Amino acid sequence: MYKYIKNIAAIMALCLSLKAKDFVVDCDKCVIEVIFTDEEVEHFKKEMGEENFYTLADDANYYAYALREYLKSNSLKIKHISRLDTHYARLIFPNANIDITKLKWLYEYYLYQKGKKPHKLMNIATPQNEINEYFNITNPKYPKESE
Render pLDDT for 44-82 as a digit per residue (tens, 0 to 9).
Answer: 899 999 999 999 889 989 999 999 999 999 999 999 988
Model pLDDT, residue 36: 81
Whether residue 57 is contained in a domain is answered as: yes
Q: Which residue has the higher pLDDT, 11 or 25?
A: 25
Whether residue 58 is contained in a domain is answered as: yes
Whether residue 89 is contained in a domain is answered as: yes
Whose CA is closest to 21, among 95, 86, 104?
A: 86
Helix axes 38-48, 50-73, angle to 10 degrees: 130
Whether residue 141 is contained in a domain is answered as: no
Q: Is the pLDDT of residue 17 over 50?
A: no
Query: Do residues 58 and 124 make contact, with C-beta atoms less than 8 angstroms apart?
Result: no
Q: Is the pLDDT of residue 143 over 80?
A: yes
Helix and strand element counts for the chain (H, E):
5, 7
Whether residue 59 is contained in a domain is answered as: yes
Domain of 53, in residue numbers: 20-135
Give SS3 for 45: helix
Whether residue 116 is contained in a domain is answered as: yes
Q: Tell me the H-state helices in the chain.
A: 2-17, 38-48, 50-73, 83-86, 128-135
What is the domain count for the chain? 1
What number is the average pLDDT over the span 77-96? 87
Query: How many percent of the chain have pLDDT more than 70?
Result: 84
Whether residue 2 is contained in a domain is answered as: no
